[in-house]
Structure 1
Amino acid sequence: MVKTNKNSKVKESGYVKGVLLTLFIAIIAGMIAKLPIFSMMGVMIISIILGIGWKRIVNLSLESKKGINFSSKILLRVGIILMGLRLNLDQIMSAGSSIVFIDIAVVSFTIIVMLFLGKWFSLNDKFSALLAVGTAICGAAAIVAVAPLIKAKEEHIAISVAFIAILGTVGTVFYSILFVLFDLHSYAYGILVGSTLHELAHVVAASLPGGDTSSEIAILVKMGRVALLIPVAIILGSMFTFTGQGKKRSKLAVKNLPVPWFVIGFLVMSIINSTGIVPKGITDLLISVSILFLSMAMAGLGLSINFKDFKKVGMKAVIVGVLGSILLALFGGLLLFLFQVV
C-alpha cells in the first residue's frame, strides 16, 4: 500500500514537472522573443526550437512526458478556444465565400493527390490515408479521428502522427523565414499559412510574425479545414468499408464520428466577443493566457518530436509525405493568385 502511494506521488510529481517544463520554456521563449533579432520569429517558433534543443540535451522521464503531452494536446485546444476572443462574426462574414472554397479545394486536392501518390509508390492504403488527412486537415487530430473508422494499424497511427508533426514543424520555420525574406502581405500570408500548414499549432506559430491580421485570418481559414474533418471521415470510412472484402469494420454511427469540440468552443468565444459584453481588459487578459498556453503547447510539441521517426516510416512514406506537403503549399499559393489575394 505504501509502495502504491509512493508510485502514485512519483507519477503525479513527474506529470507536474512536465507541465512546468513547458511553462519554463514558454517563459524563456517570451523573453527571447522581445530581443530585436528574435522578435521577427515570434514566441511560438522560439518555443518549438527551445523544446527540440532541450530534448536533445536532457533525457525526459516517462512521467514528465505525460505532463508534456497535456500541454501539447489539452492546453493547445484551450488556447485555441480562447483565441476565438480575437475574432468576431463581422470578420467571419467579411471573409467571404472565397475562403470556404479555398478550404474545400485544398483539402480535396491534398487527399486525392496523396492517395494517388501512395498507390504510385505502393504504400499501404490506410497508411496513405492517415498521411493524407493529417496533411490536409489538422495533423494528429485528424489522424487519430479517422484511424478507427478505417481500422488502421497502431504503428501506422503513431508513425503518421510523429511524421506529420515533424513535417509541419519544418514547414512552420520555413514559412516564418519566407515571410521575413519576401515581406509578404500579412493577410495573404495568413491565408497561405491557414490553408497549407498541418497542425493548428503550426498555423498559430507560423502566422504570428505577420501580426494580428495574419494570425486572425490564418486561424479562421484553418478552422474551416478542421470543420471538414467530419465529412472527410465519413467519406474515407465508407470507402474502406466498401473495399474491406468482407472484413469486420466499425459502423459509421454518429457516436463514432469525430467531433472537434475546440472548434465549437472557438466559435462560441467569437460569438461572445462579437456581443461586446466582455470588458476589453478581461478580453486582453484571456488572450494573453491563450498565447501562454499556446506557447507551452509549442514547447510540448518540440519536446515530443523525435527525428528518428523518419527512419521508421521508410523512404516511400517520406517521399509521399514531403511531396504532398510541397504540392499543398504550391496549390495554396496558386489559389491565392487566382483569387487575387496576393
Structure 2
Amino acid sequence: MGAEKIRELQHIEVQPQNKFDYKGYGIGILLTFSLAILAGLIAKLPLFSIMGIMIISILLGALWNNTLPLPTSINVSLGIQFSSKKLLRAGIILLGFRLNLFQIVDSGVSVILIDILVIAFTIMFILTLGRIFKTNKELTILVAAGTAICGAAAIVAVAPLIKSKQEQTAVAVSCIAVLGTIGALLFIFLYPYLPLTNTEYGLLVGATLHELAHVVAASVPGGELGSETAILVKLGRVLLLIPVALLISFFINRKNEKHERNLKKLPIPWFIFGFLLMSFINTLQLIPDHIINILLLLSIYFLAMGMAGLGLSIKWSDFRKVGFKPIVVAILGFVGLLCLSPILLFLYRLF
C-alpha cells in the first residue's frame, strides 16, 4: 500500500505540469497587447511620432517592469515570452509585405551599392570597436546589426542565430532606439543648413538612420521626393537583412559545426525565409492592396507586442552589468556611419 500511495502522489504532482497554462499565456499576451496599443496612441502625438510605436513599446515595457512588479501567483512570463519570440518573428515575416523587389532593382545600381557599402562598413567598424573596447561579442554583433540594417527588427532576427541572452537583446534594442531618435532629430534640425538636394537628403536619411520609423519622420523636411528616396534606400537595407543574417549565422556557428557537417544541425532562421517569401508575394502583386495594408498593420502590432515583451524583461541593473562600453561602441558606430556620408553622396552622383 505504501508503494501505491507514493505512485499516486507522484501522479498528482506531475499532472498539473502537463496542463496548458491559459492564464499565464493569456495575461502575459494581454499585457504586451495593452502596452502596444498604448504605445500606438502615444506615437500619434507630435513630440513622440519620431520615436515610433516599436520604440515606445519597449520603453513602456521597461518602465512597467521596473516600477510595477509582475504578479507572482500567475506565470505571466509565458505570455510575455510568447510575444517577445513568436509574435516578434511573425511580425518580421509580415514585414516582408512592405518590400517590392522590382522597385529596389529599378532604383538603379547606386542605391544597391550604397546599401551594401553601408552594411559592410558599419558591421566591420562596430565589430572592430567591440574588440578595441573588449565588449561582449554577442551584444556587439546585435548593436552592429541594428545600426547597419534595420534597427530592432534586425536585432531580434539575428539574436536567436547567435544564441544571445534576452537581456542582451533588450539592451541592444534600447541603445539603437535612443540613438535613432537622436539621429532623426539631428537630421530634421540640420536640414535647412545642408547643401543638399531633397533627393540627396533623403538618400542620407535612408542610408544612416536605424529604424524605418526614424527614416519616415526625418525625411519629411525633404518633401515627397526626399521621403520616397529615403524609404527606398532604407527598404534596400531591410532586404539585405536576409543574406547578412545568414552570413552572421554561418561565421558565428561554423566553429560549433567544424566536426559535424550535418545540415540539419545548422541554425536555420526559417522566419527570415518567410520574410523573403512575403516580399516575393508582394512583388508579384498576388494579394490586393487593402489586404496588404491590414497585414502590415498586423505586422506593426506584432512587432510592438514583441518589443513590449522585450521591455518587460529589461532591468536597469542589466545596463549596469554591461557597463558604458557597449553604449560607447553604439554611439561611435553611428558617428562612423555618419562620417561615411560624403562617400555615399559621391557614389550616388557618380551613377
Shared fold by TM > 0.5?
Answer: yes
Q: Which residue of 2 aligns with 1:279?
A: 288
User: Percentage identity across aligned positions?
Assistant: 35
1:76 to 80, 88, 109: 88
Cα distance in structure 2, aligned partners of 1:41 and 1:230? 29
Q: TM-score, normalised by structure 2?
A: 0.72
Q: Which residue of 1 aligns with 2:223?
A: none
Cα distance in structure 1, aligned partners of 2:323 and 2:236? 35
Cα distance in structure 2, aligned partners of 1:21 and 1:76? 15
Query: 1:113-157: per-residue Cα shift (whole Å, max 9, x none)?
Result: 344434444x37xx43x244223333354344235xxxxxxxx75
Is residue 27 of structure 1 aligned with residue 43 of structure 2? no
- Taking a change above 3 Å as real, the CA distance of residues 323 and 280 of structure 1, as seen in their structure-2 partners, is closer
Report the count of equivalent residues.
313
Q: Which residue of 1 aligns with 2:276?
A: 267
Cα distance in structure 1, aligned partners of 2:187 and 2:93? 26
- Taking a change above 3 Å as real, the CA distance of residues 263 and 3 of structure 1, as seen in their structure-2 partners, is same
- Taking a change above 3 Å as real, the CA distance of residues 329 and 115 of structure 1, as seen in their structure-2 partners, is closer
Q: For 1:271, give the aligned amino acid.
A: F
1:55 to 51, 65, 72: 65
- Taking a change above 3 Å as real, the CA distance of residues 15 and 117 of structure 1, as seen in their structure-2 partners, is same
Query: 1:273-300: per-residue Cα shift (whole Å, max 9, x none)?
Result: 2333322222222222222222222322
1:97-176 paired onto structure 2 within 5 Å: 97-121=109-133, 123=134, 127-128=136-137, 130-137=138-145, 138-146=154-162, 157=165, 160-176=168-184
2:102 to 43, 68, 90: 90
Q: For 1:13, give the aligned amino acid.
A: K
Deviation at 1:90, TM superposition (A): 1.9
- Taking a change above 3 Å as real, the CA distance of residues 298 and 186 of structure 1, as seen in their structure-2 partners, is farther
Unpaired runs of at least 5, structure 2:
1-10, 146-153, 192-197, 221-226
Query: 1:177-200: per-residue Cα shift (whole Å, max 9, x none)?
Result: 33543458455423323xxx3xxx
Q: For 2:61, give the aligned amino acid.
A: G
Greater Cα shift, 3-12 or 275-284: 3-12
- Taking a change above 3 Å as real, the CA distance of residues 330 and 289 of structure 1, as seen in their structure-2 partners, is same
Query: 1:46-97: per-residue Cα shift (whole Å, max 9, x none)?
Result: 3233223222321125732332232233222222322222332321212444
Is residue 336 of structure 1 aligned with residue 344 of structure 2? yes
Q: Which residue of 1 aligns with 2:247?
A: 231
Greater Cα shift, 285-294 or 44-53: 44-53
Deviation at 1:331, TM superposition (A): 4.8
Q: Does the Cα contact within 8 Å between 1:87 and 1:216 map onto a contact in 2?
A: no
- Taking a change above 3 Å as real, the CA distance of residues 175 and 16 of structure 1, as seen in their structure-2 partners, is farther
Greater Cα shift, 207-216 or 94-103: 207-216
- Taking a change above 3 Å as real, the CA distance of residues 176 and 18 of structure 1, as seen in their structure-2 partners, is farther
Deviation at 1:9, TM superposition (A): 6.2
Query: 1:222-266: per-residue Cα shift (whole Å, max 9, x none)?
Result: 33044222234434555x68xxxxxx9664653344433333222
Q: Which residue of 2 aligns with 1:245?
A: none
Cα distance in structure 2, aligned partners of 1:48 and 1:306? 12
Cα distance in structure 1, aligned partners of 2:160 and 2:70? 24
- Taking a change above 3 Å as real, the CA distance of residues 143 and 328 of structure 1, as seen in their structure-2 partners, is farther
- Taking a change above 3 Å as real, the CA distance of residues 323 and 169 of structure 1, as seen in their structure-2 partners, is closer
Q: Secondary structure at the match of 2:268?
A: coil
Cα distance in structure 2, aligned partners of 1:107 and 1:250? 31
- Taking a change above 3 Å as real, the CA distance of residues 90 and 324 of structure 1, as seen in their structure-2 partners, is same
Cα distance in structure 2, aligned partners of 1:114 and 1:142? 15
Is residue 65 of structure 1 aligned with residue 77 of structure 2? yes
Q: TM-score, normalised by structure 1?
A: 0.74
Q: Does the Cα contact within 8 Å between 1:134 and 1:164 map onto a contact in 2?
A: yes
Cα distance in structure 2, aligned partners of 1:257 and 1:171? 33
- Taking a change above 3 Å as real, the CA distance of residues 255 and 97 of structure 1, as seen in their structure-2 partners, is farther
Unpaired runs of at least 5, structure 1:
148-155, 198-202, 242-247
- Taking a change above 3 Å as real, the CA distance of residues 99 and 13 of structure 1, as seen in their structure-2 partners, is farther
Q: For 1:263, give the aligned amino acid.
A: I
Q: Does the Cα contact within 8 Å between 1:230 and 1:258 map onto a contact in 2?
A: no
1:301 to 310, 325, 338: 310
Q: Which residue of 2 aligns with 1:13?
A: 23
Greater Cα shift, 13-22 or 257-266: 257-266
Q: Does the Cα contact within 8 Å between 1:106 and 1:328 map onto a contact in 2?
A: no
Q: Which residue of 2 aligns with 1:191?
A: 207
Q: Which residue of 2 aligns with 1:181?
A: 189
Cα distance in structure 1, aligned partners of 2:338 and 2:55? 22
- Taking a change above 3 Å as real, the CA distance of residues 65 and 218 of structure 1, as seen in their structure-2 partners, is farther
- Taking a change above 3 Å as real, the CA distance of residues 92 and 258 of structure 1, as seen in their structure-2 partners, is farther
